[in-house]
Amino acid sequence: MFGNLFEEEEEEGAGFAPDASTERVAKGGEEPPPPRGTSNLCGIKNQGGTCYLNSLLQTLLFTPEFREELFSLGPEELGRLEDKDKPDAKVRVIPLELQRLFATLLLVDQQSASTADLTDSFGWNSSEGTNQHDVQELNRILFSALEHSLVGTSGSTLIHRLYHGTTVNSIVCKECGNVSQRQEDFLDLTVCVCGVCSLEGALWDMFVEEELFEGNNLYRCAQCDRLVTAAKSAKLRKLPPFMTMSLLRFSFDFAKCERYKETGRYTFPLTINLRPFCDQTDGEDSDYSYELFSVIIHKGGCYGGHYHVYIRDIDQLGQWEPQEEESKPKTQGKVKQVNVCEPKLEADDPLSVLTTIIAQEPSKSVLLDQLGQKLMDKTGSSWSKKFRKYHGPIGKFLQSHNDVFILVSNGTRVALKANPPSPTSELYSPVDQTTIPDPSPAEDRGTADTPPEPDHEPKPEPEGSHWFDLNDSTVTSIRESDIEKQFQGKESAYMLFYRKTQLHRTSEALKNPLYKVPPHLVQMTQEENSKLQQRREEFEASNNGVELRLHLASSYRLENGALQLIRKEEDGITTLSFDRRKTVGDLRLTIYQMQELWEGDMALTVAKCLPAGLHLYNTLTDDNVSLYSAGIYTNSELFVWNGREVCGATLLTGAEWEPVLLTVVRPFLEEDGEEGVENGLGDEEGRGGVENGAPGLKKEARGFAGGATLGEVRKALGEPHESVLCQEHGGGKRGGQEGGGEGGGASGWRVFPPEDMLRTLKELSLKDGDALLVLEPQSFDSSVFSVNGDVVTVTTPSDCRWLQVELRQGGDGEKEEDRRKAKVPASGNMLLCEVKQRAIEELQLQEQLPGKTLSVEYCLRQVDRTGKLLPPVCEELSVRDAGVRLMTTLTLCPGNAPKASQLFLHYSVGTAPSAGMEMDIIVEQTCTVKECLKAMLDAVGLEGTNWHLRRLDWCEEVGEPLMDVDASLSELKINHGDALVVTEGQLPPKGFLKLSVWLYLDPGNNSMVSMETDFNHTDNGFSEGQQLGVMTTGETHGHLPLSGGVMAELRSVGHVEITDEATLEDLKTQVLTLPALQSVCVPTPAFLRVWLLEGRRLARILRSQQLTLRKLKLASGSDICVQQLLKEEDIGPKEVLLRVQMGVPMERCYYPPEELVWDASRDSSPRSLRTTLAAHYGLSPDSLLLAKHQPDRHTWDTISNWSQQVSKRKKKKRAESLLGAPFHLKDGDIIGVKNLLIDSNRDFCTLEDEQGQQRLREQAEQRRKGGQLGGAGCDGAQGAGQEKKAGSTKSRKPEVALSINVGTFR
């Protein structure tokens, strides 16, 4: 109902199955389900959107009479689930699965149970669990399925006995007194919420108020044989043991054309006496008295939400405990008691004034429209002048004080709740009924003569049955007073379940979940509990085992601020498997036993292996704490020592002393060159190196405590006080780039100022791998080092000034070892054009063409880490300015090099560039988009103006077009090496729409069929493959006129570009100018119908010829479909185009469908549609049976003749709208019609429908088997893909009808 009205909101965590999403997989495999919580009740897992099903199933479970009746049916009547696949076995799967689910919920020790087996028995596929439905609709369908499943068993009357009731509608002639009565059955009562403030008020309107037929609306009396005045009323005749009230909280606003939810205050009692609403009132009070035991609640709006249920535990199966944070009881001062015997008027208190006025009336009530006048007579001033400013309108004031006032007599009079009007003064009203008590306990409420106590402690919950909130997998205890919170708001009551107070439970059933559970189900649950217990033990054992890495102090020594292994060749680590549920003392004892020679104290300290070495953190001192509480997990490092020193050295532990591994860089002397080179190269290979580690500088890795100051580091390095410490300029390596970033054999270092010598390494943000340059004063005499302020520049020695150039001519197939290479001397100031010239000379490329200039142009290109060529470097720049580092490799490739003012771009035609398919072009940065496009078209030999440029998006796909063709590439922020796509088609001007046009080919229209032959001769640029098969009734293949399955064809005819200010008539005119539609001849555009296509389906007809395309909400890129008509058409905004087809009498097929325009502007009820169809076919409305076809599911939804009775007030009758839930009639829907006068077959399904349903079942079975074989990962990936695909459209997902498949057991 209401489409996806009850779709789970994503932010509602309870709306989904938490166990499915938060399950963790540990070493021992999948985690077993957790045991029951403190409530000792079991929840139900949400399959993704089955909260509505879970709420109803919990209500049925906590209906003991229903549960015990179901358990009383044995295998001899229902069959066995093991035999369900046998062809001749009659196994009633639905009640059997319901029995097993109830037994699991009662007896299996797990937090929540799964309904997968039950929904499988419904015939639902895997996607049905995510579809959202209405719980009221499910209640009726599930009961119907159970009735059909139990035919021929002792439980065939189960639903009828427990839930079936009857009402009687009476019409009394005012002239002769003749009474005409008609009896109706019900399983639940649908009561109105709109315009009513309480359940009693709604029942009063339905079963007490009379509707008069008078004036122009007279009744024809059969006895008088003429039109007379009459009164119509309804009464309850037979009351079932269980009364279900369905609240109509969702309505449709025809003025705004949108759905909305009634969130106003709507009270309902805990106990109610239905005697005033019955036609037979001579029984005992207990025969009419009911008590509330379940409230299904809907949270959310009309387009999304979540269900949960409040349930009274009648058999006391759960363990109720008060909530942790009990809210303070509401002050009773709010419920102002009025002494009606001696009214006291306080002129400035509107509550006192109104209560005095009402109390002084003889009838103890006042007409609402006279209350304002009586107020003026009493006070001399109107409500608007005296009270409105501070208290709002008088109606709102009365509503906000509903603890004092109550509306009676159909809402026309107001009375005091403390002193309702007597039956002698006016008609019986809902005020005499039992109402919901005050949220505070009954003992807390005072009387009119007893003032409330100011400091009143909340009473403990009385013994007996308690209330619980069952929210999917979660079960929590609630107080009875919490029910009042569901009177109003977005989270409010949606279904109420009452039971007769005379239904008493035996003492054997109380606190006994085994009561009347069949022995075979008890045995099944015991086996399941044994398996769960075994799984939990295995899981706990495997999940709590941790692998500890022990480091013994005897293998370590303190060096460079961290612990280092004494012998590098030894591992020094002992691995120990231990249960983390054991204590630290147990671990210490185990290590003592392992180290037999250990003497003295033993300290266990958490350690961590860092680049600088092993460092210690916190010591485990409390032997009574478990390893889990101490934060010990798998692969934790523990250092075993005496807690004081290691090899005579004191250790500094903690995060503040965490060591930092620095790369200390020093200059080396000429005689130390060999060693320096080795150190430098070795470090560069081992650590990724920095440029300054080249020959001329030597590097050494040293670790220092993070809490040590920079001065202490200098002292530890043995450097004199005059030495200078420097850090790489810009913080050293950034983002994986080397050095200082200046390139060309020189880099910069920043000198630490004197004040930094007192700061620690942590304060200076020095981290592992950072380089620290140490220079003595005499080092500045060398040409390698130069000082400029606080920056030291290090120039690379001459023997490192070179670039390697590699020649690449053979394309991608050329092997790297076959390429010729040359080592070219270079410096940071050398121009790249000189580097290229020297490389050409070294590679002897000019000698290949003696006597001629070089005919092939070459350029220098860098290569990234993947081996891909980067854009050519600008040869006008120096090595340093171009960002090229010395001692790296450049590639010499055929091609031109861009100048400093030019851009090198990649481009392709039609599709995104791919390896080997892209082309290159060099253009000026000031070049416009138009000039760039022309250059690209000239390069590939294309002509014409029907082209434009597009960018590539972030995922390397064709993206947005470059709209401003006169803008320069630099203005559009197109950079060196970007890729563009030359795309066919012109850019539409701003404000224009580009629409794809399809032609609707209807086989039933001869003119359209004849046009099909002309398409073969029309050169419109579209192939025959560009056709869409659209089935108007299901997936019927071919032409089947008897079944109504007409296969229509959509053929693409081109595109139109039109401004969004154009009218629909202008669009039709422009569409007719397409070359492919030259043969279509229509007198005026009104002979053409335009559909909007959504998801390859005819979605809606574009109406109103003079409306602009912007108002019709057409977007660029939309698909439209045109259909030729045989007459003019102008469908109104509230008219619906339906395809109606009459059933062939006594056969399972239909006559060909006809188009019918139904005017739903005034009345959209089933009665209006039935009247329209009756006039169309010349039949009586009562003889027609209607149904809407669901082509996706191959099913028919019957449009009932019965209209829900919402209100009996005169001129306020509200009927069911076919434009809303559950039918949502729209353009193009198929309506099946049965003439009951000559056709007794009420089944609308055809043979084609049955075949389609069989295909769907086979596909569902294949998906289910594929999911079992592929595992949950495949389903998750497929589901994610489907969600992603579904998320691409903004429209809500279509409504899916709710159904339960039941076998035949007659």
Following DSSP, what letter does each residue of 126-159 receive, concatenated? GGGGG----HHHHHHHHHHHHHHHTTTSTTTTHH
Q: What is the pLDDT of residue 988?
A: 67
- Model confidence pLDDT, tens digit, residues 408-446: 766 678 888 765 554 434 433 333 333 333 433 333 433
Examine the pLDDT at 1246 and tell me if it is beyond 70. Answer: yes
State how far the Cα of 902 lies from the Cα of 419, in Å rounded to an integer: 93
Nearest Cα to Cα of residue 1076 among 1007, 1010, 1011: 1011
Q: What pLDDT is recorded for position 1004? A: 52
Strand partners, 1049: 1001, 1029
Query: What is the 8-class DSSP label of residue 1063?
Result: B
Predicted confidence band of residue 102 (pLDDT cuts 50, 70, 90): very high
Percent of the chain with pLDDT over 70: 77
Q: Note the pLDDT of residue 101.
A: 95
3-state secondary structure (DSSP) of residue 1149: coil
DSSP string of 865-891, one letter each residue: TTSPEEEEPPTTSBTTTTTPPTT-EEE
**What CA–CA distance (Å, rounded) separates 650 from 561?**
11
Q: List helix spans (H) across 1230-1271.
A: 1247-1270
d(CA 716, CA 1025): 80
pLDDT tens column, 543-552: 788 889 999 8
Strand spans (E) along 1017-1160: 1027-1031, 1047-1059, 1088-1094, 1097-1101, 1119-1124, 1135-1142, 1154-1159
DSSP per residue over 255-311, as a string?
A: TTTEEEE--S--B--SEEE-GGGBS---S-GGGTEEEEEEEEEEEEETTEEEEEEEE
Pairing of strands 659-667, 919-924: unpaired
* CA–CA dist 1057, 996 (Å, integer): 9
Q: What is the mean pLDDT of residues 349-365?
A: 83
Task: Evaluate if pTM is beyond 0.75.
Answer: no
pLDDT, the chain, mean? 78
Cα dist from 363 to 208, 423, 426, whole Å: 20, 10, 7
For residue 950, pLDDT over 90 is answered with: no
Share of the chain above pLDDT 90, in %: 23
Can you tell me the distance from the alpha carbon of 339 to that of 356, in angstroms, rounded to the nearest whole number? 9
Helix (H), strand (E), coil (C) string for 1208-1236: CCCCCCCCCCCCCCCCCCCCCCEEEEEEC
User: 680-689: long-range contacts at Cβ-Cβ below 8 A with a sequence spacing of 24 or more?
Assistant: 687/663, 687/769, 689/738
How far apart are the C-alpha atoms of 295 and 58, rounded to whole Å? 11
The one catalytic residue in 51, 197, 221, 874 is 51
Distance between CA atoms of residues 38 and 1262, nearest Å: 41
The residue-averaged pLDDT of 96-117 equals 94
pLDDT value of position 131 = 75
Q: Which of the four pLDDT bands, split at 50, 70 and 90, describes residue 100?
A: very high
Predicted confidence at residue 1080, as pLDDT, reads: 78
- Tell me which residue of 1049, 1247, 1229, 1248 sits closest to 1153, measured CA to CA: 1229
Q: Is the pLDDT score of 1122 beyond 80?
A: yes
Cα–Cα dist 164/238, whole Å:
8
Whole-number pLDDT of residue 1268: 52
**What is the 8-class DSSP label of residue 48?**
S
CB atoms within 10 A of CB 1152: 15
* Number of other residues whose CB lies within 10 A of the CB of residue 392: 13
963, 1001 contact by CB (below 8 A) = no
Q: Is the bond preceding 667 in cis, omega lying within 30 degrees of 0?
A: no
User: Tokens 């003079």 identify what position?
Assistant: 1106
Amino acid residing at 686: G
The sheet with strand 1135-1142 has its strands ordered as: 1154-1159, 1135-1142, 1230-1235, 1184-1190, 1195-1199
The pLDDT assigned to 1097 comes to 78
What's the number of CA atoms in the CB half-sphere (13 Å) around residue 615? 22
Q: Comparing C-alpha atoms, which of 278, 192, 179 is closest to residue 232?
A: 179
R_g of the chain, CA atoms, integer Å: 43
Q: Which among 621, 640, 540 has a CA at the least distance from the CA of 581?
A: 540
Give the model's confidence band at 737: pLDDT under 50 very low, under 70 low, under 90 confident, else very high.
very low
Dihedral sign of CA atoms 437, 443, 444, 447 in order: positive
How many whole angstroms separate alpha carbon 133 and alpha carbon 6? 6
Question: Which stretches of 38-88 are assigned E, i.e. beta strand?
Answer: 43-44
- CB count in 10 Å sphere of residue 487: 17
Q: Is 51 an active-site residue?
A: yes
pLDDT band at 695 (very low <50, low <70, confident <90, very high): very low
Q: To which residue do tokens 């001065």 refer?
A: 711
Residue 1259 tokens, joined: 């596909």
* Beta partners for residue 322, in sequence order: none
The pLDDT value given to residue 428: 36
One DSSP character per residue, 892-933 reads EEESPPP-TTEEEEEEEESS---TTT-EEEEEETT-BHHHHH
Terminal Cα distance for the chain, rounded: 31
Task: Name which residue leads in pLDDT, 1029 or 1240.
Answer: 1240
Q: What distance in Å separates the CA atoms of residue 192 and residue 1036, rounded to the nearest whole number?
A: 42
Higher pLDDT, 286 or 832: 832
Calpha distance 201→195 (Å, rounded): 10
pLDDT greater than 60 at residue 867: yes
Q: Tell me which of 139-143, 425-429, 1067-1071 is least confident.
A: 425-429
User: How confident is the model at residue 1026, as a pLDDT?
Assistant: 42
pLDDT of residue 17: 37
Cβ proximity of 540 and 582 under 8 Å: no
Q: How far is CA 565 from the centre of its chain?
A: 54
Q: Is 133 a catalytic residue?
A: no
DSSP 1125: -
306, 308, 615, 948: the catalytic one is 306
Residue whose pair of structure tokens reads 């299901």 in the numeric block: 1034
Residue 533 three-state SS: helix
